[in-house]
Amino acid sequence: MSAGATSAPDAAASAAPRVHNGVCIDDSFAEAFPMKATRLLITAHRLEWARHAAVAATGLATSVIACGCEAGIERELAAHETPDGRPGIAVLLFAMSGKELARQIERRVGQCVLTCPTTAVFAGLDEGEAVPLGRNLRFFGDGWQTSKVIGGVRYWRVPVMDGEFVAQESTPLVQGVGGGNLLLLARDTDSALAAAEAAVAAMRRLPDVILPFPGGVVRSGSKVGSRYAGLMASTNDAFCPSLWGVTRRSELDARVRCVMEIVIDGLSEAAVAEAMRAGLQAGIERGEAGGLLRISAGNYGGKLGPFHFHLHRLAPPAPRPPGDEGSA
């Protein structure tokens, strides 16, 4: 089951909405899951080549349902922030088990970073369960590879056609959180995209999180199970505008014509909460005037994931009714 893309609405999602700038914030919560995570630092002769490697290494990594891991670019790194003094990109990778994440790291770094001109790769975390990074990739050197220990850390140097590929021997895995999410309900496609883009921009300014779907947004939100045998997830009909008035589960009304979801994976519960808070605020600032009508979240009724991010706890305090400013 994906900790990111598979979500179902809370049955009481609209029981007690809170209104900010004309946007209803549902009394609901996003339900998230423990995942194994790591950060990799990819450096290169120029930033553009580090980015090429990072984009390739985090491709086809939107959901663990079919991709094996969820991954994305965290941020750009200046030369003074990297072990080799070159510009770079930090990426985060998440999987449901340490074994699977180790497999994904080896494949993605081997095929997408080792192959990319001038790149090197380093661990971006200091502590955790160590899994191979360059330890196995060194064998590509066919016996010509060498290693060097600096400050107690081993690095492998693999000869390649543009010089050498440098990789730290291992990278730590830590306990991460996958599946934080926001559902943005809008009056039309333009409004939904604008609200989603504003929320994504706000979230991407924060550390320790990624938004694994294309552009940070997913339009194919899903629910657990299907009427077809063998499918573990299917379209979240409760939030499909084209099924309003057709499905008994609909969480929409006639005004909502487009829904976008943002999924957040983070290195900690606090990081996911902060990203959701930033996304909520960005949506509220768009407001009803910008076409955003409501913000909700996907969950499984609280039965499957231990992390519950309640929207009312993340949103600003409830606005006072007109004329109720209180005494000085």
**d(C-alpha 185, C-alpha 294), whole Å:** 5
**d(C-alpha 266, C-alpha 207), whole Å:** 9
Q: Tell me what pLDDT residue 303 has.
A: 86
Query: What topology is assigned to 36-173 in CATH?
Result: Alpha-Beta Plaits (3.30.70)
Report yes or no on whether pTM surpasses 0.75.
yes
Q: Tell me what pLDDT residue 261 has.
A: 98
- Overall residue count recorded for the chain in this entry: 328
Q: Tell me what pLDDT residue 3 has.
A: 38
Q: For residue 138, give both structure tokens.
A: 């060194």
Beta bridge partners of 166: 120, 157
Q: Tell me what pLDDT residue 12 has.
A: 42
Q: Tell me what pLDDT residue 79 has.
A: 98
Q: Which of 148, 198, 153 is CA-nearest to residue 41?
A: 153
Q: Which of 88, 86, 60, 56 is CA-nearest to residue 75?
A: 88
Q: Which of 28, 1, 76, 63 is CA-nearest to residue 226?
A: 1
Query: What topology is assigned to 8-33+175-314 in CATH?
Result: Alpha-Beta Plaits (3.30.70)
- Contact criterion met (CB below 8 Å) for 283 and 316: no
**d(C-alpha 290, C-alpha 187), whole Å:** 9
Q: Tell me what pLDDT residue 322 has.
A: 67
Q: Tell me what pLDDT residue 324 has.
A: 63
Show me where the domains of the chain are located: 8-33+175-314, 36-173
Other beta carbons less than 10 A from residue 243's beta carbon: 16
Chunked mean pLDDT (size 10), the chain, 328 residues: 42 65 97 98 98 98 96 98 98 98 98 98 98 98 98 98 98 98 98 98 98 98 92 94 94 97 98 98 98 96 93 88 59
Amino acid in the structure at residue 308:
H
Q: Which of 3, 7, 5 is CA-nearest to residue 300?
A: 7
Q: Does the fold of domain 36-173 match that of domain 8-33+175-314?
A: yes
Distances (CA, A) of 126 to 38, 113, 153: 10, 21, 11
Q: Tell me what pLDDT residue 317 has.
A: 86
